[in-house]
């Protein structure tokens, strides 16, 4: 057990030794981190004993909620049975095999193989290597270019950050690497201007075809996209977008990668976002909800024809020490068992998501909210100075709103001035009511600060 310390002690020790991800080190140095100590259900407790409703499920991952003893027990059991072995050089172990089979049962039809990784970023590194390997096996090694989207997020490793379209990330370290192209995102509220949303969705989809033609079909290996962009700000494409993208993809011989790291494991009310939108991807990177975040694990689910091609290619010189880690696999299996037996995905679709979305829409009347949008267990609020013209506040107010959230016992994420939520799937009605009440309190506090 850790020694009990004061918040200031933790912060000081952290400042001395911890390099935290995605944190402004200048600000962190001045203020110190918030120390989260314990969690149960949809709530966290910080080092001051304050109770916080975690409307982000950690980082979009704690789908079954915190404090699940079954997952701790599965960890304990597997640690004693086989704490580690690997899948290299023609070995395997029961948890990884069983997990691949369990994933095949819930995945879209015809996607029956899984390559395991340690995270979503690693999964997307695997995607990059796998699609190029795939085309090389098919005697088309020149098909190397992968098309992603501006403001898409596919992780933080060199491949993940390159496939993603985050400007700030590209600005550090000469990214993207060669062979990656980006097209416009289907972000109607932010970029659609005076266009009708459906016309805008079609325009954004057609950007894909333009890019394929510009690069040359013979050089394009794949298109990668999140069914709903998460880290970009819960960007829900207009209804016209995915059907038009599908039509375009059908015309060209390129692979389609649906990044399910956030949308997978129930977030949309289906097991995968691809099922929600009727997409038929060739590859689906997964992570997060796979273990509900209890242990790190990711993977890539592949369609049968891809697995068949890989089988013809002999050895794939790729893999991670922790690919299919037995303890993580045991936790993922138990997590999937919980999701299935408690019918959590079905409940999201029938009850929880419709209720969350109904209540979320009520926030649209707040003076700061230009748009309240949501789908499944995802929600976003666009904060604006002027609703009609969608004018933002000079200097931005998202981070200020986020501070008010913390002060009032709520975790919401700010992506610029888009406030987003992605709560645990097990959140109940009362907790949704509490969430909406807290969001309104925080919006009011932000508005008061601006007045």
For residue 117, the minimal CB distance to ligand PLP (Å) is 9
Hey, what are 222's tokens?
A: 């794949």
Closest CA to 126 of 114, 135, 140: 114
Phi then psi for 225, rounded to 5 degrees?
Answer: -160, 150
Name which position in 66, 153, 241, 256 contacts ligand PLP (CB under 6 A).
Answer: 153
By CB under 6 A, which span of 148-156, 270-278, 316-324, 385-393 interacts with ligand PLP? 148-156
Residue 326 near residue 78, CB atoms below 8 Å: yes
Instruction: Please report, as residue ranges, which positions from 402 to 421 form the binding site for ligand PLP (by CB under 6 A).
Output: none
Residue 58 near residue 64, CB atoms below 8 Å: no
Taking the least distance from each CB to ligand PLP, the nearer of 133 and 267 is 267
119 touching ligand PLP, by CB under 6 A: yes
Bridge partners (DSSP) listed for residue 265: none
For residue 419, the minimal CB distance to ligand PLP (Å) is 17
120 touching ligand PLP, by CB under 6 A: yes
Name which position in 75, 121, 274, 352 contacts ligand PLP (CB under 6 A).
Answer: 121
Taking the least distance from each CB to ligand PLP, the nearer of 71 and 443 is 71
For residue 90, the minimal CB distance to ligand PLP (Å) is 28
Give the DSSP letter of residue 289.
G
Closest CA to 302 of 133, 154, 104, 122: 104
201 touching ligand PLP, by CB under 6 A: no
CA-to-CA distance for 341 and 365, rounded, in angstroms? 38
Please state the length of the chain. Answer: 451
By CB under 6 A, which span of 106-114, 150-158, 193-201, 420-428 interacts with ligand PLP? 150-158
Taking the least distance from each CB to ligand PLP, the nearer of 61 and 384 is 61
Mask: binding to ligand PLP, 71-110, rule CB under 6 A, as x and -? ----------------------------------------
Q: Which residues are within 8 A (CB) of 22 and not within 5 positions of it... i.e. 6 or more apart?
A: none
Mask: binding to ligand PLP, 280-309, rule CB under 6 A, as x and -? -------x----------x-----------
Angle CA 127–273–252, to nearest 5 = 55
For residue 159, the minimal CB distance to ligand PLP (Å) is 11
Taking the least distance from each CB to ligand PLP, the nearer of 300 and 345 is 300
Instruction: Please report, as residue ranges, which positions from 123 to 142 form the binding site for ligand PLP (by CB under 6 A).
Output: 124
Residue 42, CB-side half-sphere exposure with 13 Å CA sphere: 25
Q: Which residues are within 8 A (CB) of 200 and not within 5 positions of it... i.e. 6 or more apart?
A: 186, 188, 191, 192, 238
Closest CA to 292 of 28, 105, 133, 70: 70
Q: Which residues are within 8 A (CB) of 261 and not within 5 positions of it... i.e. 6 or more apart?
A: 120, 123, 154, 155, 226, 230, 285, 286, 287, 288, 298
For residue 155, the minimal CB distance to ligand PLP (Å) is 3
Closest CA to 414 of 449, 442, 386, 389: 442
Measured at CB, which residue is nearest to ligand PLP? Answer: 120
Instruction: Please report, as residue ranges, which positions from 207 to 266 form the binding site for ligand PLP (by CB under 6 A).
Output: 226, 230-231, 259, 261-262
For residue 195, the minimal CB distance to ligand PLP (Å) is 26
By CB under 6 A, which span of 39-47, 82-90, 118-126, 347-355 interacts with ligand PLP? 118-126
Closest CA to 227 of 196, 269, 290: 269
Residues binding ligand PLP (CB under 6 A): 59, 119-121, 124, 153-156, 160, 226, 230-231, 259, 261-262, 287, 298
């Amino acid at each position: 057990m850790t020694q009990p310390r004061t918040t200031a002690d933790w912060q000081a020790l952290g400042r001395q030794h911890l390099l935290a991800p995605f944190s402004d080190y200048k600000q962190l140095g001045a203020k110190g981190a918030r120390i989260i100590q314990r969690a149960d259900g949809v709530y966290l407790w910080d080092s001051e004993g304050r109770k916080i409703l975690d409307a982000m499920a950690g980082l979009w991952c704690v789908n079954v909620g915190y404090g699940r003893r079954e997952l701790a027990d599965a960890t304990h059991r597997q640690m004693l049975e086989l704490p580690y072995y690997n899948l290299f050089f023609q070995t395997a172990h029961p948890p990884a095999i069983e997990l691949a089979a369990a994933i095949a049962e819930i995945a879209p039809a015809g996607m029956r193989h899984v390559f395991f990784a340690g995270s979503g970023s690693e999964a997307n590194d695997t995607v990059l290597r796998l699609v190029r390997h795939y085309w090389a096996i098919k005697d088309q090694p020149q098909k190397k270019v992968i098309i992603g989207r501006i403001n898409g997020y596919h992780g933080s490793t060199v491949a993940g950050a390159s496939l993603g379209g985050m400007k700030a990330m590209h600005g550090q370290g000469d990214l993207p690497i060669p062979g990656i192209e980006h097209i416009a995102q289907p972000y109607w509220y932010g970029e659609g201007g005076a266009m009708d949303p459906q016309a805008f969705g079609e325009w954004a989809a057609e950007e894909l075809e333009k890019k394929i033609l510009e690069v040359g079909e013979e050089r394009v290996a794949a298109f990668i996209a999140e069914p709903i962009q998460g880290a970009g700000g819960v960007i829900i494409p207009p209804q016209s977008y995915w059907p038009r993208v599908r039509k375009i993809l059908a015309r060209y011989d390129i692979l389609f990668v649906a990044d399910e790291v956030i949308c997978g494991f129930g977030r949309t009310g289906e097991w995968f976002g691809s099922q929600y939108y009727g997409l038929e991807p060739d590859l689906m990177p997964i992570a997060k909800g796979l273990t509900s975040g209890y242990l790190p694990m990711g993977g890539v689910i592949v369609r049968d024809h891809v697995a068949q091609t890989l089988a013809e290619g002999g050895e794939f010189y790729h893999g991670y020490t922790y690919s299919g880690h037995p303890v993580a696999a045991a936790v993922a299996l138990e997590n999937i068992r919980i999701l299935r037996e408690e019918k959590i995905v079905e409940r999201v679709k029938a009850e929880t998501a419709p209720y969350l979305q109904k209540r979320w829409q009520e926030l649209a009347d707040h003076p700061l909210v230009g748009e309240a949008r949501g789908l499944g267990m995802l929600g976003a609020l666009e904060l604006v100075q002027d609703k009609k013209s969608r004018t933002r506040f000079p200097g931005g107010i998202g981070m200020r709103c986020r501070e008010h959230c913390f002060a009032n016992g709520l975790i919401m994420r700010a992506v610029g001035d888009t406030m987003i939520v992605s709560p645990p799937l097990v959140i109940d009605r009362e907790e949704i009511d509490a969430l909406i009440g807290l969001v309104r309190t925080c919006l009011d506090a932000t508005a008061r600060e601006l007045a």
